Structure 1
Amino acid sequence: MPSLSKPAFSLAGIQWLFFMVVNTVVVPLSIGLAFGLTDAETAGLIRTSFIVVGAASLLQSLIGHRYPLLEGHGGIWWGLVLSLCASAPAMGLSYSELGGSLAVGMLLAGIVTIILGAIGFTELLQKIFNPIVLVIYLFLLSCQLILYFFKGMMGIGDGGAINLPVALLSVIIVVAVLVMSMMGRGSIANFSILIGMLGGWVAFVLFFGNETTPTSGGTLFKLLPLGELKLHIGIIVTAFIAGLINMANSLVAISTVESLFEERTTLKQYQASYYVTGVGTIVAGLFGLIPFGPYSSSIGFLQSTRIFQRGPFILGSALFIVLGLIPALGGFFSTMPETVGDSVLFVAYLQLFSTAIRNVRRLPLDNISMHRITIPMLVGLSILNVPPETFSAFPVMLQPLISNGLLVGVLLSVIMELASRNKLKELTQ
């Protein structure tokens, strides 16, 4: 990989910083809204997220898996928490009970992630999460989050109608970033994400004004802001399963990025990665954050920018920590219009979806394999597209699990793979 000049190195670090901002800021904002937190509490959650995401990413690049992969709020965790918030009234739960039970589940999941990483669980995980299961995971994760980003970039409000002027600007941003990343050369392609974010932000302010005011202040690292520790077995078990699948997310992201760097990841790297992710999950449970994991969307970012060096990523991670420590800076970046951030993330997840499609092409597509792919995909998609209230007839303990399309799709895929011929024999060898 050619070395970058100092100006290009700095710009690449700033580009990573903006990518971290748009991937991170929307998560604590959505959690604050879902749990009914005050503006000050949400501001504190945002700043805490910036610091912890920056620190976790820095640790992963230096002592963890050692790839330039954003260690951010896990998509599977984010989708789970938002879906549980939507279904909490139907389950007869207050938000403080939900938040407290989730915290317990996250703490347990973090501890187990560290323990399983230490005892070499990676090898068994690689056998369970074979290429077919990984395709299902990438496909459903892309669909779950890209639907969320699509609604944001189209300006779809509570009434369900598209805001046409906002949607038009979003489409222009998406097309511009895609054209720059696929057809541009040199710096244009390398900094397509940064150009799209900055240009989109300026255009949004010019045409629509600044719709949000900077937030500042807020308490950093407030303990258990979503509720005191509670024991709701169904939520704790669901969170625990999410933690195990999040370990598979690390496996997916790391094994997928290997092709870009043309190298094999050692078991020690996986082990170190799980240590960082496990500690991050414990921190998330204590301070009301969404637990962490390597972001598969970083792969799309790397494919778009074609800058694979760790140095700019380390610089971006360090700057992200600074943003969280300085209230005014963190408040300023929190004003980035949601539609602009969602438009850029839409492009990143298009790349991730493309990765899932490329992985499908490598599979032996006989009749058995096709059923092993299509059934989990369609079941997961079906659940993703129905409201949580649909599952109110199920026992309360099962509702948190059965109402999550990503979890159900991945678990169904794992079960079908374990039931396939010779699979159980392979696991015992």
Structure 2
Amino acid sequence: MYELIKINNWFAGLQWLFFIFTNTVVIPITVGAAFQLSEGQIIILVQLSFIVTGLACIVQTLFGHKRSIMEGQSGLWWGVILSLSYSASAQGISLGTLGGSLAVGIIMSGILTVIIGLSGLGKYVSKLFSEGVMGVFMFLFGCQIISIFLKGMLGIPFGTQSETAQIDIPIFLLSATIAAIVIIISIKASPKIRRYALLLGIIIGWILYVLIFEQKTTTGEMTSISVSLFPLGAPAWNIGIIITAILTGLLNLANTFGALKGTDGMYHSKTTNGQYKRTITISGFFVMIAGLFGMVPYAPYVASIGFLSQTRIVERLPLILGGCMFVIMGMVPAIGQFFSKLPLSVGSAVLFVAYLQLLHSSLQFFRQIELNTTNIYRSAIPLFVGIIIMTLPPTYFESIPGFIRPLISNGLLMGIILSLILENCFSRERGHVYISEKENQKMKM
């Protein structure tokens, strides 16, 4: 009880609240826009995301891994869902069928995740995600999610086809300015201010947007809305989408392994099998909840490592307090209505900067690999194949059978799958080690 009334814990809880909010608020808005939901449906999606995310953080911290790690809507899932929504019409899939099939696939992946957690298979699955796989995963995920944010900064509405899209120059100039402000704060400001760079970017950007594009904002009154199951579409059975969702759920475990392994040093202990079991099981239950209510599924946030490194708040109580405050925010309808009006271009600009850090995460994993010829091939093949697939128009894949088309046309998933195969199905052989020109000169001397 004494710890609960300490003012320092409440200030630390507020910092967690801002971190959770910044990483959550844009996700339901972008998904709602991509699936062309009404304003009322988007408001509900925002409120549910706040409530469930806060609860997920509390439950994981108390009963799961028992560490100060945010449990949030997975960036991998988010990128895949938005990517599928962009290519749906080109592949002859309606948004309703896509949303319904995703719901089925997400629920099935949640059930499979719970089975993996309860059975203790997590410790064996974690061995598949080596440094090479994680490096490829971080890099390709960065490419996909950054491309989505860049489209938002350019003023291209979510779900718009490339042949009909046009760049909104005033929107882009404002977005670029917001991104520059966030970068400057992140680099030049004092550590106490720097940790709030994303939040400050949202506040400043939103104010500028209203001042410049006031005629484009909406101020509708709160309507009578209620929570409903499957808001993205009634359950459907597009086998390609369902397979893609199940594989995404399995690959999403990379977030769990990355977050837990990345905090081992901070807690001076190695993650136990029990922690893996509890964490994966709890994540699986929240994945199923997400499938029912049209939300992006959950996973421990690797980005929590950076937050912990910067703030040194490794105690669990502040995250629990932050999670409770976030749940309360979600329970107030006016708050959901207010934040549902966040301009997508502003959110895209702020998260564009935030996810640039994925390059650092990727390079950190690649640094642990010896750069010989064999390992270069292991990394280059999935990286280049994945990036090239991302750049191909969806129409290129129309000749591929429909049941595997959503998977084959997704560069992120194909790159990760190729990396898993190359890293785990072929023996490691020593090859020619690449050295820099500077090192070469030293050897000649």
TM range (shorter): 0.7 to 0.9
Q: Which residue of 2 aligns with 1:197?
A: 202
Paired amino acid for 1:283: I
Q: Which residue of 2 aligns with 1:79?
A: 79
Q: Which residue of 1 aligns with 2:30?
A: 30
Query: Is the Cα contact below 8 Å between 1:132 and 1:363 reproduced in 2?
Result: yes
TM-score (structure 1 length as normaliser)? 0.88
Please state how far the C-alpha of 1:59 moved relative to its aligned partner: 1.4
Query: Is the Cα contact below 8 Å between 2:135 and 2:366 reproduced in 1?
Result: yes
Instruction: Give the Cα–Cα distance (whole angstroms) in 2 for the partners of residues 175 and 13 of structure 1.
Output: 28
Structure 1 residues 224 and 155: CA distance shift in structure 2, 3 A: closer
1:117 equivalenced with 2:124 (yes/no): no
Q: Which residue of 2 aligns with 1:427?
A: none
Please state how far the C-alpha of 1:398 moved relative to its aligned partner: 0.8
Q: Which residue of 1 aligns with 2:106?
A: 106
**Alignment match of 1:327 (pick from 300, 323, 333):** 333
1:67-100 Cα distance to aligned partner (Å, 9 max, x none): 3333222222222222333333344433333222
Instruction: Give the Cα–Cα distance (whole angstroms) in 1 for the partners of residues 109 and 335 of structure 2.
Output: 33
Instruction: Give the Cα–Cα distance (whole angstroms) in 1 for the partners of residues 246 and 37 of structure 2.
Output: 25
1:64 equivalenced with 2:64 (yes/no): yes
Higher CA-based Rg:
2
Paired amino acid for 2:353: V
SS of structure 1 residue aligned to 2:127: helix
Instruction: Give the Cα–Cα distance (whole angstroms) in 1 for the partners of residues 86 and 176 of structure 2.
Output: 29
TM-score (structure 2 length as normaliser)? 0.85
- Equivalent pairs: percent with the same residue? 42
Please state how far the C-alpha of 1:33 moved relative to its aligned partner: 2.8
1:118-139 Cα distance to aligned partner (Å, 9 max, x none): 1111221122111100111111
Please state how far the C-alpha of 1:220 moved relative to its aligned partner: 4.8
SS of structure 2 residue aligned to 1:72: strand
Q: Which residue of 1 aligns with 2:434?
A: none
1:292 equivalenced with 2:298 (yes/no): yes
1:250 equivalenced with 2:256 (yes/no): yes
Q: Which residue of 1 aligns with 2:285?
A: 279
Q: Which residue of 2 aligns with 1:426?
A: none
Instruction: Give the Cα–Cα distance (whole angstroms) in 2 for the partners of residues 180 and 305 of structure 1.
Output: 16
Runs of 4+ in 1 over 6 A off after TM superposition: 5-8
Structure 1 residues 154 and 302: CA distance shift in structure 2, 3 A: farther
1:332-375 Cα distance to aligned partner (Å, 9 max, x none): 12223333322332232122321111221121111111111111
1:374-399 Cα distance to aligned partner (Å, 9 max, x none): 11011111112223222111000010
Instruction: Give the Cα–Cα distance (whole angstroms) in 2 for the partners of residues 312 and 195 of structure 1.
Output: 21
Instruction: Give the Cα–Cα distance (whole angstroms) in 2 for the partners of residues 151 and 89 of structure 1.
Output: 18
Structure 1 residues 177 and 294: CA distance shift in structure 2, 3 A: same
Instruction: Give the Cα–Cα distance (whole angstroms) in 1 for the partners of residues 155 and 12 of structure 2.
Output: 30
Bigger drift between 391-400 and 167-176 goes to 167-176
Structure 1 residues 199 and 88: CA distance shift in structure 2, 3 A: closer
Bigger drift between 202-211 and 382-391 goes to 202-211
Instruction: Give the Cα–Cα distance (whole angstroms) in 2 for the partners of residues 212 and 12 of structure 1.
Output: 35
Question: What pairs with 1:257-406 in structure 2 (closer than 5 Å)?
Answer: 257-303=263-309, 307-406=313-412
Please state how far the C-alpha of 1:262 moved relative to its aligned partner: 4.8
SS of structure 2 residue aligned to 1:128: coil
Query: Is the Cα contact below 8 Å between 1:246 and 1:293 reproduced in 2?
Result: yes
Q: Give the RMSD, CA atoms, in angstroms.
A: 2.9
Please state how far the C-alpha of 1:163 moved relative to its aligned partner: 4.4
Structure 1 residues 196 and 99: CA distance shift in structure 2, 3 A: closer
Q: How many positions carry a matched residue from both structures? A: 421
Instruction: Give the Cα–Cα distance (whole angstroms) in 2 for the partners of residues 6 and 183 of structure 1.
Output: 31
Structure 1 residues 306 and 43: CA distance shift in structure 2, 3 A: same
Question: What pairs with 1:224-235 in structure 2 (closer than 5 Å)?
Answer: 224-235=230-241
SS of structure 2 residue aligned to 1:358: helix
Query: Is the Cα contact below 8 Å between 1:69 and 1:298 reproduced in 2?
Result: yes
Structure 1 residues 92 and 204: CA distance shift in structure 2, 3 A: closer
